[in-house]
Amino acid sequence: MRSWVHNSVTPRLAPPMTIFVTSILAMVTIFGVDLADGSQIWSQVLYVFPLYFIALSCERFRWVVFAVLLSAVFQLLTFLWYEISALSVIANWIIALAASVMTVGLARVARSRFAEAETDAATDVLTGLCNRRGFESVAAREIIRQKRYGGVFSLVVIDLDRFKSLNDSKGHAAGDRALRLLGFVLRRNLRQTDSIARLGGDEFVIVMPNTQAADCAALCRQLSATIGNQMDAAGFAVTASIGYTTCETPPSSVAAALQEADDAMYAAKAMSSGLASQSRIAAFQIPPPPEKPPVLGIHSDAEDVLMARQKPSPGITGQVGA
């Protein structure tokens, strides 16, 4: 019972169409009861409850307008049915209409405040990106979409190198500027369909819907070069380690997918020795079927280091190629 009440009074938890239809049926019921019991019991005040639920839960304003007009018609017909004087009909109808409009207005304000609070709760104050809560919500929806419709998505984790040294040498204000700069670079260089979040500290994550591994790798290479150039231009001696995973089948959880990308990021960070000025990218890949031997391949050149790391199956020895 408590859960039902909570869902009913919280915007977007209950299906809007369900709330709308249920509230309209409630108004029809109130109208019928009013006509049945005559003027002995005036139930007009009850119309504010279905109106409140519709105004709070339904985004489409025309649904709200329809509900207000319907309640106004029902109440006018009820007053006429009572056979009271014309002046009383008009006075009572105006009062009822004013109460309905005020109720709807308060409900729409509450809906707006709830939306603002929900946005603030899922937003990182420093960068304006999503925070961990916002990321988990986006990633969970992406997994649900993949389970229902198929397809793939990629998850990218970015961590700044030598960020602590930057804080220690130039102060936390410089570190904050570097984080805001990274957020700006990510927003400017990614697609509108990608979702960016700051997990905490100097760790960021990107959800890339409908992105194959090869496309993700290309985006990560471009992103890594851009981050390095922008940080250098701003006078920040930091680079980025980037790890990614491509989910061709739905992962068991958001945490499991994030762990794979996180492991790949730490694999990239482990290659930092002697490569502090180069981009480092590591990809965590789902192991191939048992009949195909897993391969560990490492490619290195002056521009980047790309590692494709796979989990070996028991009893199978990996082959290494340069």
d(Cα 111, Cα 217) in Å, to the nearest integer? 41
Q: Is 124 considered catalytic here?
A: no
Cα–Cα–Cα angle for 78, 54, 15, rounded to 5 degrees: 135
Pairing of strands 203-209, 153-161: antiparallel
Contacts of 181 (CB under 8 A, 6+ apart): 230, 231, 234, 236
Which of 159, 194, 202, 262 is labelled catalytic? 202
Per the structure block, which two tokens stand in for 99? 């109460």
Dihedral sign from CA coordinates of 82, 86, 87, 91: positive
Spatial separation of the C-alpha atoms in residues 183 and 196, rounded to whole Å: 8
**CA 209 to chain CA mean position, Å:** 13
Among residues 285, 289, 306, the alpha carbon closest in space to that of 297 is found at 306
- The torsion region of residue 52 among left (phi > 0), alpha (psi -120 to 50) and beta comes to alpha
The answer to whether 125 and 232 have CB atoms below 8 angstroms apart is no
Query: For 106-131, b where at least 16 C-beta lie within 10 A, e where not — what string?
Result: ebeeebeeeeeebeeebbbeebebbb
- Tokens linked to 80: 């006429």
The maximal CA–CA distance of the chain, rounded, in angstroms, is: 96
Q: Report the catalytic residues.
A: 202
